[in-house]
Amino acid sequence: MPVRWLVNSHSHADHWLGNAAFSDTVIELIASEQTVSTMKKYGKDDVKFYTKVTKGTIGFTQLRYPNVLLK
């Protein structure tokens, strides 16, 4: 059964950098407007940080932002 909803409760990178792994199945990717704003502000830096501290073992990470925003 496909994943229908994915909720990002907050913008800590370890909670949302895996969003792209659900690209083929998730219908609604949900988060607050403030969370998405923070994701967009720091997302590229978060990927660089996690790539460095894991010595590249996280592989390629594509940023995928929520498409349903809560006020």
Residue 29 token pair: 């990717």
Torsion of CA 22, 71, 11, 58, to 10 degrees: 20
Domains held by the chain: number: 1
Nearest to 8 by CA among 45, 36, 46: 36
pLDDT at 43 over 80: yes
Instruction: State residue 53's pLDDT score.
Output: 93
Residues spanned by the domain of 34: 5-70
pLDDT, tens digit, 9 for 90 and up, residues 9-18: 999 999 999 9
Instruction: State residue 70's pLDDT score.
Output: 97
Average pLDDT over residues 48-61: 89
N-terminal to C-terminal alpha carbon distance within the chain = 29
Pairwise pLDDT comparison (3 vs 28), residue with the higher score: 28
pTM: 0.86
Instruction: State residue 40's pLDDT score.
Output: 98
